[in-house]
Amino acid sequence: MSARNRFSCLCRLWILVAGLLTVAGAVRPVQGAPTQIAFSQSAATVEAYDFVEVTLNVASPDAKNPFTDVAVEGLFGKAGDSQRLAVAGFCDSADGTVFRIRFMPSAPGDYAYSVSYRQGGFEQTHTGTFRASDGHRRGPIRVDPKYSWHFIWEGTGEHYFKRHHRVFSDGLARGEGHQLHH
């Protein structure tokens, strides 16, 4: 057998072995364990109906798709209370280096939370606390439980009114019986 034929046979053998190993999964990079995750909190005190944000900075991320291969989840609630609200976090960078999770407390008080980063069999959890003060914020708009065709601000209980005005060709805005100059 000539040297050329031996080389050709060896090349075919290596291609066959490489194909078998790939099919068997032996030639796959190991994923699921970033080198370091740093957790940081936006503030120690926020107003009720504002939000606290926990940012996760991942060093050397290795998830193929950080938007689908990683889960960031948190449990938030008043300190000392067993009831917790589950909150999903999100990836905020294409390379998987930044994740965020946000929570809006609806009442003043001391809060505790735990946030978990999961990727494959790897998991890292962080716990923290913050205080919510009464800032007299209006909060989100909800349907009024007494009158289903009305809306109220959840934080204050005030009715929400949206005034519609139309601007006419004479340059005046009219609506709800008022005449406004534009």
What tens digit of pLDDT does each residue of 7-39 get? 455 445 455 544 544 444 443 344 557 879 999
Percentage of the chain modeled with pLDDT above 90 = 53
Q: Is the pLDDT assigned to residue 176 strictly greater than 60?
A: no
* Six token digits for residue 61: 């991320």
Q: Is the pTM of this model over 0.75?
A: no
Give the model's confidence band at 168: pLDDT under 50 very low, under 70 low, under 90 confident, else very high: low
Percentage of the chain modeled with pLDDT above 70 = 71
Q: What is the mean pLDDT of residues 42-50?
A: 96
Q: Is the pLDDT assigned to residue 161 strictly greater than 80?
A: no
Q: Are 98 and 89 in contact (CB under 8 A)?
A: no
pLDDT of res. 94: 95
Nearest by Cα to 117 from 96, 136, 148, 137: 96
Whole-number average pLDDT of the chain: 81
Task: Give the alpha-carbon dihedral of 84, 88, 93, 97, to 10 degrees.
Answer: 50
Q: What is the mean pLDDT of residues 39-46?
A: 97
Digit-coded pLDDT (tens) for 93-149: 999 999 999 999 999 999 999 999 999 999 999 999 999 999 888 888 888 888 888
Q: In what order do the strands lie in the sheet with 166-167?
A: 166-167, 172-175, 178-181
